[in-house]
Structure 1
Amino acid sequence: MNIPGLIDENVREMDEQYRAYEGIVSAEDIEKLMKLYKIGKGPLSLALGFGEITITRYLSGQIPSKEYSDVIKAALTSPAYMKKKLNENKERIAPAAYNKAINAVVQLESIFAVSDQMLRVISYLFKRMEEVTPLMLQKLLYFTQGVSFVLNGKSMFSENCQAWVHGPVYPEVYNMFRDFKYNPIEDERFVIFEGAENQLNEDECRVIDLVADSFGLYSGKVLEKITHEERPWSSARKGYGNDIPSNEMITMESIEAYYIEKNAAYDFSSVEGLRTYIEDVLQRKR
């Protein structure tokens, strides 16, 4: 006796296994692409150089060829590639659809102002944390840099931060998420980096895990207070009043020296050591 639901489930599983084995995009990938570039099925088909109903067929279950799948994957992972395809096929697309998609491309391109490694770290923090505000993200990146110097003997990423009024800030990251203000970041653009964190090595993941399990327990405002008690930020702000803006760099050398010094007293290789350090800093602040 055949059970329709069971048959459908078996077919779905075989389809997923085949796609994974051959590296073929899924219907979910195509939906992400449409959402990412704010473009409908027909216009997307035309923009990629396909027939007008090709994407509709793929969303209905038809499996793309490897050639077409690679085109879709390239568009999903590279705004520059999507821009190229949009401009190649501009005459085939309605002006309104083209303008909306090209504007989405421009917004996405701003993300690439930071290094690939920074994007990996941000992606992993998003994966680890239930929600992250821009203020919280800035401070977690700073603490990640400090703990990386201690545990791995090197910086986690190449970007330098600046001593702003509200603590250390990576300007490029600030520009990426400034529209969220004090709200949690819910950014559909980051679907483009899904899985990027898989390129982090075990030692790098360990650093981020330690930071998420210690500093990540606090709000952005509390994390800001912690950085205000730390020498790298306060030294870079020397001569500035409390509310006076500055873009003075917090040098990597100052972060490294401070965290190595505090590690000797607290042991930053453990969550317990980091939490004790945080508690002591907050007690001092009171």
Structure 2
Amino acid sequence: MPNAPYDPRAVANKLLDLADIIGAGDMPITPLALQKLLYLVHFRFLAATGQAAVKGSFEAWQYGPVHPVVYNAFSEFGRNPITARAKGKDLITGEDRALDIPTDKTLHQIIVQVLSSVGYMSARRLVDLSHAPNGPWDYIWKKIQAGTALTRHIPNNVTLERGRFMMVDANKKVCDSPYVDKIPSEYRTGTLCGNSSRGKTR
């Protein structure tokens, strides 16, 4: 079994590293896009293992699910692609230290699946996915707007129960990815594209 949940900054770092590999340097990820990709990873990990991928909670913000810890770690990049990795603090010296990157094979594969499916999408398009009707964000956001939500937190049970609504359109987009030809077949999402490249019948 995995040793999840993990430090959300460390999972974000792993996602960014794998995006560099899969996209061969041509899959830039902004802080806004990172939040949506990380949330999709969190959902798929929950569905696969029954455990949360990251510590802490995602919250329903205006532009979709946001993990506050990750927001603070990468906010300096604004709307620009992220070019550095989050670091931790040594509790004794107060100096920056590298975060331990999870070696969880399930997490690794899920990140690759998410990136191969939607990693090429713009931040705006990823926001659209996260806003899917009946999805986790939509469910909590409507409660916030109605004044019936006590917090902005998106509980894991809501993510697990409603996350599938976010993935309906995402799965249809796998064959359209400009990175499909570069992705090893064992990492391609499901059988939507079979063993062929994009553009074939779904």
Indicate the TM-score class for this superposition, using the shorter chain for normalisation.
Answer: 0.5 to 0.7
> RMSD value over aligned CA atoms?
3.4
CA distance 1:124–1:188, change in 2 (3 Å): closer
The alignment covers a number of residue pairs equal to 155
Higher relative contact order (CA 8 A, sep 6+): 2
Q: Which residue does 1:139 correspond to in 2?
A: 36
Give the one of 25, 46, 52 matched to 1:155.
52
CA contact (8 A) 1:167 1:224 kept: yes
Q: Which residue does 1:117 correspond to in 2?
A: 7
Q: Which residue does 1:169 correspond to in 2?
A: 66
Aligned counterparts of 1:134 and 1:262: Cα–Cα separation in 2 = 19
Please say if 1:253 is aligned against 2:157.
yes
Question: Letter of the aligned partner of 2:80 in structure 1?
Answer: N
CA contact (8 A) 2:43 2:159 kept: yes
Q: Which residue does 1:193 correspond to in 2?
A: 98
Give the one of 114, 119, 125 matched to 1:222.
125
Percent identical residues: 25
Question: Letter of the aligned partner of 1:193 in structure 2?
Answer: A
Aligned counterparts of 1:272 and 1:218: Cα–Cα separation in 2 = 19
Q: CA deviation at 1:188?
A: 6.3
CA contact (8 A) 2:35 2:66 kept: yes
CA distance 1:152–1:182, change in 2 (3 Å): same
Aligned partner of residue 52 in structure 2, secondary structure: coil
TM-score between both structures, scaled by the size of structure 1: 0.47
Question: Letter of the aligned partner of 2:54 in structure 1?
Answer: F
The structure with more radius of gyration: 1
What are structure 2's unaligned runs of at least 5 residues? 21-27, 88-95, 172-186, 194-202
Aligned counterparts of 2:144 and 2:122: Cα–Cα separation in 1 = 25
CA distance 1:185–1:222, change in 2 (3 Å): same
Please say if 1:206 is aligned against 2:109.
yes
Q: Which residue does 2:93 correspond to in 1?
A: none
CA contact (8 A) 1:123 1:193 kept: no
TM-score between both structures, scaled by the size of structure 2: 0.64
Instruction: Find runs of 4+ consecutive structure 1 residues off by over 3 angstroms.
Output: 188-192, 259-264, 272-275
Q: CA deviation at 1:240?
A: 5.2
Q: Which residue does 1:232 correspond to in 2?
A: 136
Encode CA deviations 1:52-96: one digit per residue, 9 max, x unaligned: xxxxxxxxxxxxxxxxxxxxxxxxxxxxxxxxxxxxxxxxxxxxx
Question: Letter of the aligned partner of 2:126 in structure 1?
Answer: L
Q: CA deviation at 1:224?
A: 0.4
| Higher helix proportion (structure 1 or 2) | 1
Question: Letter of the aligned partner of 1:271 in structure 2?
Answer: T
